[in-house]
Amino acid sequence: MKLMFILFFMLLLFIFLLFIVFIIRKKLIKKIMFLEIDEDLKNLAPKEFFLNILKREKFSKIVNYVGFFLFLLFTFFIVFLGYQEYKVYSDFSITPIIPIFVWSVVSANLLLALLIKKRENKRISEMLDNLEKSKLLKCAKADFILSNKILETGILGNNIKFGSKFLFVIYPGYIIPYYCLDDINVKEIFGRYGSKSYYVNVILKVPFKPINITFAKKEVCEKIRYILLKRKYKAQNDKPNI
């Protein structure tokens, strides 16, 4: 019973920490959107500016450390102490395969999360490199700082920022010139037990790849699509002077 109490307390602590991390991330994104950032960040070169804005390395390191610490705690209590107590109070013996399997699954999930983060950081760096080669980053930075058109997308979404020439998505990180837009439509994602979410499918002109921006509410996606279509037609009429 003592072990069960410890595990229950750890589960509550884990859920509480996830909630705190979620709230902190939302507040950081809002601060970025409304440019409540220090002047040193604004004075960075365009590429370094967006690397700091889009990757948020300082915050993600804290999250990774907390996650790894919790992973070690769960490994110790659930796999080792839990198995020992189960052997004492169980009427039949079990092999170590089950706790080892659980530990392997948790380890694989942690490794997958780290790989996804690494891949996302690589994608952001490549996107910024391509924009820099096209001499768009300087204009994008000015557009980001000057723009105050921000769309609130709800708790489960990610606020996006509409510049005069670029669309900015902070998480996952995208900087999209409007004149690169080819088509925009809203699609559904069906999950388990009848749940569903929506995403804006943004198709970009060659050589860019289509991207999906996911949100919980259909009306939010429709609003984003409407704004992007207006910006797209405006960009087509005005030659990109960037």
Task: For 99-109, write each residue's pLDDT tens digit.
Answer: 566 667 767 77
For 194: left if phi > 0, alpha if psi spans -120 to 50, otherwise beta; the answer is left
- C-alpha 167/C-alpha 235 separation (Å) is 12
Across residues 69-91, what is the average pLDDT?
A: 65
Asked if pLDDT for residue 179 goes beyond 80, the answer is yes
Residue 92 has pLDDT above 90, yes or no: no
- Cα(72)–Cα(20) distance, integer angstroms: 20
pLDDT band at 149 (very low <50, low <70, confident <90, very high): confident
Largest Cα–Cα distance in the chain?
78
Cα-atom radius of gyration of the chain, to the nearest Å? 23
Smallest CA-to-CA distance from 48 within 121, 115, 123, 125 is with: 125
Q: Residue 187 phi/psi, 5° resolution?
A: -130, 160
Residue with tokens 């610490």: 69
Residue 56 has pLDDT above 90, yes or no: no
**Between 140 and 77, residue with greater pLDDT:** 140
Lowest-pLDDT range of 10-19, 91-100, 161-170, 225-234: 91-100
CA gap 171, 158 in Å, rounded: 7
Cα distances (Å, whole numbers) of residue 239 to 118, 157, 203? 36, 32, 20
Please, what's the b/e burial string for 88-112 (b: 16 or more CB within 10 A of its CB; e: otherwise)?
eeeeeeeeeeebeebbeeeeeeeee
Per-residue pLDDT, 143: 92
Say what percent of the chain tops pLDDT 70.
67
Say if CB 140 and CB 175 are below 8 A apart: yes
Which pLDDT score, from 0 to 100, does residue 192 have?
64
Whether the model clears a pTM of 0.75, i.e. scores above it, the answer is no
For residue 78, the model assigns a pLDDT of 64
The pLDDT of residue 69 is 73
Residue 148: the pLDDT is 80
Q: Give the bridge partners for 169, in sequence order.
A: 160, 174
Residue 64 pLDDT grade (very low, low, confident, very high; cuts 50, 70, 90): low
